[in-house]
């Protein structure tokens, strides 16, 4: 499958003694209300995911990594009209713990965020999922959370939580547009027995870099082979394809130009 990348955004009160007998009923009613709220919101999330499954419209960032094994990858998913309905970012820590943040949009406004991440607890892993749902003003309306341990016999249920941390999608835009810490400079050609790769990214030691497989010996690539050392650290823009084969994804260089 070939994907072409392109640039494209309880209330607490003092209860009277006579009212205490009503607490179980009131709590049950509140729980039912929360469960119905969550059910309806998750139903909308499922509808958005279904619309994206049938649109086949996606924009990827480059797959960035650092020398310490940290990784960052972002993607935008849109409907058949080109409206972005979901943004995602995948962050892999140097310890190889993952965090995936999803931003859902409905009627061109933020609808929900989903944060899935791992934490270590002694020798086991904890899997945490946090949901934030937003009102029409863009403020967090309700938050839910569930924590599942890797040795648990069954998955935990979501419970109403304190407001989870509000996520930001700014890093996603920087990654997709190759800005800030994701600005691209030429860093050399990686040569192997069978394939060559264009190495681009930050010139800093702890910066992000990424490699694109070279399949076509275009005039731009030919010039780089001849002048490789002279072009080191020069700002570069690229078009690329993200290809998949046997459940493995990789990036292929399509075209490039110098930006300075």
Under-50 pLDDT residues of the chain: 1-22
Q: What is the pTM of this model?
A: 0.84
Closest CA to 100 of 111, 110, 92, 89: 89
* Predicted pLDDT of residue 28: 54
pLDDT at 45: 96
The pLDDT score that the predictor gives to residue 7 is 42
User: Which pLDDT tens digit goes with each residue over 13-62?
Assistant: 322 323 344 455 555 556 678 999 999 999 999 999 998 988 889 999 99
Predicted local confidence at residue 153, as pLDDT: 72
Residue 34 pairs in a beta bridge with none
* Per-residue model confidence (pLDDT) at position 86: 97
**Per-residue pLDDT, 12:** 27
| DSSP letter, residue 122 | T
């Amino acid at each position: 499958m070939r994907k072409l990348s392109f640039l494209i955004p309880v209330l607490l009160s003092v209860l009277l003694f006579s009212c205490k007998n009503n607490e179980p009923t009131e709590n049950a009613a509140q729980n039912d209300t929360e469960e119905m709220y969550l059910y309806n919101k998750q139903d909308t999330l499922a509808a958005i995911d279904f619309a994206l499954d049938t649109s086949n419209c996606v924009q990827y960032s480059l797959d960035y990594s650092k020398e310490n094994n940290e990784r960052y990858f972002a993607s935008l998913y849109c409907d058949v009209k080109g409206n972005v309905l979901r943004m995602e970012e995948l962050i892999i820590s140097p310890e190889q713990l993952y965090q995936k943040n999803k931003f859902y949009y409905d009627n061109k406004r933020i609808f929900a965020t989903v944060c899935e991440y791992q934490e270590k607890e002694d020798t086991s892993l904890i899997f945490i999922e946090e949901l934030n749902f937003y009102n029409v003003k863009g403020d967090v309306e309700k938050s839910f959370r569930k924590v599942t341990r890797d040795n648990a016999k069954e998955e935990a249920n979501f419970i109403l939580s304190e407001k989870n941390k509000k996520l930001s999608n700014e890093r996603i835009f920087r990654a997709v547009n190759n800005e800030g810490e994701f600005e691209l400079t030429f860093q050399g050609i990686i040569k192997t027995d069978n394939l060559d790769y264009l190495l681009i990214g930050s010139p800093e030691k702890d910066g992000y870099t990424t490699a694109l497989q070279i399949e076509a010996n275009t005039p731009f690539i030919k010039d780089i082979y001849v002048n490789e050392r002279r072009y080191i650290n020069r700002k570069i823009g690229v078009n690329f394809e993200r290809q998949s084969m046997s459940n493995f994804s990789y990036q292929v260089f399509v075209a490039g130009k110098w930006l300075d």
